[in-house]
Amino acid sequence: MGEEFYCVLKLISGEEIFSLVSIDENNEDPIVILQNPVVMKISYTEVGSIVKIKPWMEIPDDDFYMIKLDKIITMTEITNKSTIGIYNKYLDNEFNLNGEVKITDKMGYISSVENARKKLEELYKDIKES
């Protein structure tokens, strides 16, 4: 197997895929191996640009996919650290958080429901007595 690199592939189907790629040239017919391929769509607004990322294949749980070279129109290596950072941040969130946001103290999660209820009841009693 060859060296891994970040790449955008344009397939004969018209799809554009961003992925970590390596090429297996051991066979007569080389195979491109995609690791966690995604589709990136960039939208421009008045505020700035927005990158929407979704998995290339949404139903399978596989991380690796193989494509024959005859299914690829072109490949472009990506060295832009910003684009690679966005991709890696997406993967971190996708695999570590499972779509859920972890609650932190900075988000306001500082008490249990029971403690918050008691504090609110005390505040209500103090206001009522005043």
What is the domain-level CATH number for residue 15?
Answer: 2.30.30.100
Q: Which stretches of 38-112 are DSSP H helices?
A: 81-96
User: Who wins on pLDDT, 101 or 2?
Assistant: 2
- The amino acid sitting at 43 is S
For residue 56, give every residue at least 6 positions away whose Cβ sits within 8 Å of its Cβ, in sequence order, or none.
Answer: 15, 17, 19, 34, 37, 38, 39, 65
- What pLDDT sits at residue 110? 65
- The pTM (predicted TM-score) of the whole model is 0.67
Residue 106 lies in a domain: no
Contact 75, 13 (CB under 8 A): no
In tens, the pLDDT along 84-106 reads 998 998 888 765 545 555 666 66
Share of the chain above pLDDT 90, in %: 41
- Report if residue 114 sits inside a domain: no
> Which tens digit of pLDDT belongs to each residue from 44-57?
988 888 888 999 99
Average pLDDT of the residues in 26-41 = 89
How far is 99 from 94, CA to CA, in rounded Å?
A: 6
